[in-house]
Amino acid sequence: MEQIIIKTKERSEKIEFPDELGFGNIFTDHIFEMNYTKDKGWHEPTIKPLEDISMHPGTMFIHYGQAIFEGLKAYKTKDAEIVLFRPDEHFKRLNRSARRICIPEVDVDFMINALKELVNIERDWIPTGEGESLYVRPFVYGSDPFLGVNPASSYKLIILLSPVGAYYPEGFKPIKILVQDDYVRAVRKGLGECKTPANYAASLLAGEKAMEQGYTQVLWLDGVELKNIEEVGTMNIFINMKNEIVTPKLNGSILPGVTRKTVIQLLKEWDMNIVERDISIDEVVEKYDSGDLLGVFGSGTAAVISSVGWLTFKNKKMVINDGKAGELALKLFKEITSIQYGLKEDTHGWIYKVEKNEVEVS
Ligand code: COI
């Protein structure tokens, strides 16, 4: 792969973060960009100042949605080192999504290095408040103008960076979830396991309606029988019960979360009975009624580990652990964030250091 072209600009103003960073409101000064054509493959990898994208109104992804994305994070550790959490898993998942909707794959090692270069240049943009990090959003879209329905022949990949705090307005406090049975997010063999904008578009109306009723998010049921629980859309879900912790198994319509994988590995190492299987909403209600439901929590890059304090299905309003964060969710949150912020040694190979480099401008 070619050498990355670097075109940086002087930062005119000092970076100042607001008190509440929230999620996705602020962007850094530079992006990474590269283009794909059939004859050249992926080419011209470039780090350059952030600017608007200008595109032809016939650009294919606008019409037919051929686009994919990822979400990962960079952290400043307690020793002021910069690290990425599991970037290999994220770029491998980008490739899995790419294969599903006919987008050309990228070289994972090249992308990790490109991201390290970009984050190195933007290191001053990494916030250091509690729970804060630099959210990394790689995305790829079909970029040539054509109105026929087929895969594009050229693509653009961009990495955009955004300093973030907590994803949910509640911060890291327990959230309220409405189990959704009026709409579905995805069906097996469809796009559910692919990180593509269509899945998020499918979730908007239900999300708005849930919010009007005071809920933070919805929990999706399977798209055929509306029976088994699937995921929250911004997180995977875990149900902590008396004898087992269950997370829905990856059946094709659930996003294979990197934090989900991390949680499963940690729970196994802690000798806890974590089971990936189908679990119906009726079973969750039964366990709640019998007092065997100890906790519910979600896992995701943006949300980290988020306790569910209230779960409503039809007229059944379940208050979980008195609306307080569960012990297991707190333990997982602490373990994962301690590794991410360098408070605990990474014994798993999850952390990728970003070395400090003076950048040569070309
Ligand atoms: C993430 O957790 O990174 C996500 O992609 C969820 C959401 C912000 C789209």
E strand segments, 170-292: 175-180, 217-220, 236-241, 245-247, 274-276
Q: Which of 136, 199, 301, 336 to mutate to test the pocket of ligand 1 (most atoms within 8 A of CB)?
A: 301
Q: HSE, CB side, 13 Å, CA atoms: give it for residue 291.
A: 0
Q: How many CA atoms lie within 13 A of 233 on its CB side?
A: 27
Ligand 1 site, residue 301, Cβ cutoff 6 A = yes
- Residue 119: pLDDT over 70: yes
CA dist 20 and 270 (Å) reads 34
Give the mean model confidence (pLDDT) for residues 67-82: 96
Q: CA distances (Å), 87 to each of 68, 157, 291, 351, in order?
A: 16, 16, 40, 8
User: Taking a C-beta distance cutoff of 8 angstroms, is the pair 352, 87 a contact?
Assistant: yes
Residue 10 is predicted with a pLDDT of 84
pLDDT at site 360: 57
Q: Is 188 left (phi over 0), alpha (psi -120 to 50) or beta?
A: beta
Give the pLDDT mean for 35-44. 97
What is the arithmetic mean of pLDDT over 62-81?
97
- Residue range 249-276: average pLDDT? 98
Sketch out the chain's domains with CATH numbers: 5-165+349-354 (3.30.470.10), 175-325 (3.20.10.10)
166 lines ligand 1 (CB under 6 A): no
- Cα–ligand 1 centroid distance for 137 (angstroms): 9
- Give CA–CA dist 181/185, Å, rounded: 10
CB of 138 within 6 A of ligand 1: the answer is no
The rounded Å distance from CA 303 to ligand 1 centre is: 8
Give the distance (Å) from ligand 1 centre to CA of residue 83: 19
Q: What is the mean pLDDT of residues 133-153?
A: 98
Instruction: Write the CB contacts of 10 (distance below 8 Å, at least 6 apart in sequence).
Output: none
